[in-house]
């Protein structure tokens, strides 16, 4: 059973080193501690990131950071207006708790006031409840919404047991794109031997039909607690792959490039053919820079 709590935090923004992506800086912001989606590969479940002593509580104890919007309002007075704020690096900002607490919503209202660019990473169609504020941010500065998808609806029940199905994510993408909001698909994580070229191809085509403007991928990273958990999952549902995973991840956190080379080449080719970008900003970067410089001048 999921337990919800309200908490106050000391800090709400984390500066990402060397990840400017064309912006003056990139900050991550997580409206919640814990994530109800409980994805089998969740990288947050590691000594390095997980915020709870009892690690598995991460999927059952969801804490809403109630003072997040207030803190952000104070911080945005001090950081550059062209610093990108990324929502959802260590939780889904549109997990079910958002229906009740509206923490992500309150944060977006503050960001809209300061006009900082925003990137949202989600697996949930609950994002549609904020279509009004998302449209306003998109028109005033820069907004990119990345939906992460690695499988069909059937397989996602195994990998992402409590997240909305990929078909719902594509539907949300279609609706948001139809409002002129920049959406993309994150094919992440690329689980070796499991996320196959055919699946990736289908995801890109479906994303393109749903209005996605960009596509990118990321490797499966496994360390300490999340490695143990994912290995147990592989043993149960893909027993023939157990030995291979033991070898691939015996001395490293992510697999050698050979496991993703072909898929990444395919992503490059398909995105070029379909007129999609392979980065968050892609060809829109000069436009963002122009909007931002105009905003600076207005200040
Ligand atoms: S949505 Fe992201 S943070 Fe949440 S469980 Fe899945 S991988 Fe972890």
* Percent of the chain's residues with pLDDT above 90: 83
- Specify the pLDDT at position 287: 65
Q: Which of 2, 33, 39, 221 to mutate to test the pocket of ligand 1 (most atoms within 8 A of CB)?
A: 39
Global pTM?
0.95
Span 215-232, pLDDT tens digits: 999 999 999 999 999 999
In what order do the strands lie in the sheet containing 214-219? 14-16, 26-29, 84-87, 118-122, 143-148, 182-190, 214-219
For 29, other C-beta atoms within 10 Å of its C-beta total: 23
Contact assessment for residue 51 and residue 34, using Cβ atoms and an 8 Å cutoff = yes
Task: For residues 264-292, give the mean pLDDT.
Answer: 85
- Ligand 1 center to 125 CA (angstroms): 15
Mean pLDDT of 243-248: 96
Considering only CA atoms, which residue is closest to atom 3 of ligand 1?
91
What mean pLDDT comes out for the span 94-117?
Answer: 97
Nearest atom within ligand 1 for CA of residue 38: 5
Which of the listed CATH numbers 3.40.50.1370, 3.40.1190.20, 3.40.366.10, 3.80.30.30 matches domain 3-298? 3.80.30.30
pLDDT range class, residue 292, cuts 50, 70, 90: low
């Amino acid at each position: 059973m999921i337990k919800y709590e309200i908490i106050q935090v000391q800090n709400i923004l984390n500066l990402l080193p060397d990840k400017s992506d064309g912006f003056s800086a990139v900050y991550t912001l997580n409206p919640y501690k814990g994530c109800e989606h409980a994805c089998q590969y969740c990288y947050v479940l590691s000594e390095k990131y997980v915020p709870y002593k009892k690690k598995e509580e991460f999927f059952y104890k969801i804490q809403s950071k109630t003072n997040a919007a207030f803190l952000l309002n104070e911080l945005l007075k001090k950081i550059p207006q062209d610093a990108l704020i990324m929502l959802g690096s260590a939780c889904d900002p549109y997990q079910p708790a958002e229906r009740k607490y509206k923490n992500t919503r309150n944060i977006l209202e503050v960001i809209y006031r300061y006009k900082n660019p925003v990137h949202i990473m989600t697996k949930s169609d609950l994002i549609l409840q904020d279509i009004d504020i998302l449209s306003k941010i998109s028109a005033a500065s820069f907004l990119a919404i990345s939906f992460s998808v690695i499988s069909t609806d059937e397989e996602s029940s195994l990998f992402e047991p409590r997240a909305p199905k990929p078909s719902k994510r594509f539907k949300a993408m279609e609706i948001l794109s139809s409002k002129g909001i920049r959406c993309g698909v994150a094919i992440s994580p690329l689980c070796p031997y499991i996320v196959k070229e055919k699946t990736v191809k289908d995801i890109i085509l479906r994303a393109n039909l749903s209005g996605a403007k960009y596509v990118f991928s990321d490797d499966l990273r496994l360390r300490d607690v999340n490695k143990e958990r994912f290995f147990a999952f592989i043993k149960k549902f893909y027993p023939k792959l157990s030995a291979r995973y033991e070898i691939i991840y015996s001395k490293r956190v992510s697999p050698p490039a050979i496991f993703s080379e072909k898929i990444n080449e395919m992503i490059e080719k398909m995105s070029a053919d379909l007129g999609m970008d392979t980065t968050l900003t892609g060809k829109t970067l000069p436009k963002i820079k122009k909007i931002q410089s105009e905003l600076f001048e207005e200040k």
